[in-house]
């Protein structure tokens, strides 16, 4: 029995109790049936307030696929609005399960080329000066399934659901670096997670001194286990795996540590048999989340074209929307504050005339970078490209209002 169905049942039980059951006849609702509600909710008392609120029984966003201990569960982008990703729906990439960690026993060791090695408890970390900032995290593999094995019946979640956006709170890594005293030739650090995969990445010290953070809270509350409870590394704008979860160790050194995670994974094939390594920054990208598969437009008229845009290099400067497959472009409205390295919600009001249409979005960031078409991207990267796939996405709207994913742009 899922938590979702339990919540739904509890809510309906509460409503049924309040109504004496009179207006709620029929079999008990469950996940397979439409929830039963009063004919007129104003005519009977509602349910009591709860310690921890549940979603409406009519609302059940879910990550997918689930049940794995090695894999990725994607955020249901098509079910969301605004820019914040609810913590329980943040995409998750795990390499050997979600560890169960006692925060009172977890520590962060900072050692290697430092003057004063330090081992800090979580409570000690939380006594340092903190910051709260909104940033996206995107898996470097986001979008590659839709490149390698596209299908018209792919949802935004399946196409690009490995990006999520949160308010993160923690201590700037630069503060801890000052505390331990970096040696002058310490140019890289190793960040190691406390899960059973011991994921470890090499990161330039310059990023640590810039905007890196040891985060203990997400969207106002302590990190969830699937997001690194009790602490994670946050490297704003850099590929997801470098934002090491369940962080337990930082080791300063002269050069990259060349872990298996930077050779067996997370390198980018280029034309001519070359490989791009340490490709940390996530390029500007966008996706229309509505209209999108499996939506169906009920008829011609005004429809909002809504989506998300983001850039690992700075602020989104502009989002263009095309409804004719890229022949012409119009400026979309940016609906939320233009935070650097964060999701921005865009919207373009489209008057659909009922003909076949091809919807596209194109992000432009404040570095002047323009999100490429697939053919532009492949011309640079070659056909072997895999990680960092950020080509323009398209949705085909047919005369009957059905919307399908169109892989080629």
Residues 231-270, interacting with a second copy (CB under 8 A): 246, 248
CB of 119 to a second copy, least distance (A): 16
Report the site for a second copy in 20-59 (rule: CB under 8 A). 35, 37-38, 41-59
Burial of 21 (0-12, 13-18, 19+ CB in 10 A): exposed
CB of 158 to a second copy, least distance (A): 15
Report the site for a second copy in 260-319 (rule: CB under 8 A). 302-304, 306
Rounded to whole angstroms, the Cα distance separating 301 from 313 reads 37
Report the site for a second copy in 128-167 (rule: CB under 8 A). 128-134, 165, 167
Among 179, 187, 226, 386, which residue interacts with a second copy (rule: CB under 8 A)?
Answer: 226
Report the site for a second copy in 362-391 (rule: CB under 8 A). none
Rounded to whole angstroms, the Cα distance separating 198 from 24 reads 52
CB of 15 to a second copy, least distance (A): 4
Rounded to whole angstroms, the Cα distance separating 170 from 214 reads 5
CB of 148 to a second copy, least distance (A): 22
- 84 near a second copy, judged by CB under 8 A: yes
For residue 353, give every residue at least 6 positions away whose Cβ sits within 8 Å of its Cβ, in sequence order, or none: 300
Residue 72 three-state SS: strand
- Beta strands 107-112; 247-253: pairing state: parallel
Residue 41 three-state SS: helix
Half-sphere exposure of 325 (CA within 13 A, CB side): 12
CB of 180 to a second copy, least distance (A): 17
**Residue 102: C-alpha distances to residues 111, 165, 204, 305 (Å):** 22, 26, 30, 45
Q: Which is nearer to a second copy, 205 or 344 (CB)?
A: 344
Q: Which is nearer to a second copy, 7 or 202 (CB)?
A: 7
Rounded to whole angstroms, the Cα distance separating 223 from 238 reads 19
- 338 near a second copy, judged by CB under 8 A: no
Torsional class of 408: left (φ above 0), alpha (ψ -120 to 50), beta (otherwise): beta
Among 220, 300, 354, 368, which residue interacts with a second copy (rule: CB under 8 A)?
Answer: 220
Rounded to whole angstroms, the Cα distance separating 348 from 49 reads 38
Contact range with a second copy by CB under 8 A, out of 77-85, 135-143, 271-279, 312-320 = 77-85
CB of 5 to a second copy, least distance (A): 11
Q: Which is nearer to a second copy, 193 or 372 (CB)?
A: 193
Report the site for a second copy in 167-186 (rule: CB under 8 A). 167-169
């Amino acid at each position: 029995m899922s938590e979702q169905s339990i919540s739904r049942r509890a809510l309906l039980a509460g409503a049924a109790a309040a109504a004496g059951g009179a207006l709620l006849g029929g079999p008990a609702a469950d996940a397979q049936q439409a929830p039963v509600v009063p004919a007129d909710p104003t005519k009977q008392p509602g349910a009591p307030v709860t310690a921890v609120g549940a979603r409406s029984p009519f609302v059940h966003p879910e990550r997918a696929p689930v049940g794995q201990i090695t894999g990725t569960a994607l955020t249901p982008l098509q079910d969301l609005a605004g820019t914040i990703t609810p913590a329980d729906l943040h995409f998750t990439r795990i390499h050997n399960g979600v560890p169960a960690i006692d925060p009172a026993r977890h520590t962060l060791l900072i050692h290697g080329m430092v003057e004063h090695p330090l081992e800090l408890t979580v409570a000690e970390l939380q006594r340092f000066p903190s910051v709260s900032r909104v940033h996206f995290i995107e898996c470097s593999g986001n979008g590659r399934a839709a490149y390698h094995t596209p299908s018209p019946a792919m949802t935004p979640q399946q196409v690009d659901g490995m990006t999520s956006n949160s308010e993160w709170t923690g201590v700037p890594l630069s503060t801890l670096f000052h505390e331990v005293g970096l040696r002058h030739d310490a140019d890289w650090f190793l960040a190691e997670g406390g899960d059973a995969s011991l994921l470890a990445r090499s990161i330039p010290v310059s990023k640590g001194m810039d905007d890196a953070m040891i985060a203990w809270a997400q969207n106002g509350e302590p990190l969830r286990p699937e997001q690194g409870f009790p602490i994670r590394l946050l490297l704003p704008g850099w590929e997801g795996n470098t934002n090491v979860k369940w962080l337990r160790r930082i080791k300063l050194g002269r050069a990259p540590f060349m872990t298996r995670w930077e050779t067996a994974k997370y390198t980018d094939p280029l034309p001519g048999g070359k490989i791009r390594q340490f490709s940390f920054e996530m390029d500007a990208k966008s996706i229309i989340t509505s209209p999108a598969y499996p939506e169906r437009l009920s008829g011609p008229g005004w429809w909002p074209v809504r989506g998300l845009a983001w850039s690992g290099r700075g602020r989104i400067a502009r989002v263009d929307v095309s409804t004719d497959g890229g022949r012409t472009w119009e400026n979309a409205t940016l609906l939320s504050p233009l935070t650097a390295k964060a999701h921005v919600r865009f919207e373009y009001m489209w008057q659909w005339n009922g003909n076949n249409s091809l919807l596209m979005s194109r992000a432009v960031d404040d570095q002047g970078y323009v999100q490429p078409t697939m053919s532009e991207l492949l011309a640079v990267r070659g056909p072997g490209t895999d990680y960092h796939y950020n080509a323009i996405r398209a949705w085909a709207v047919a005369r009957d209002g059905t919307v399908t994913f169109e892989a080629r742009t």
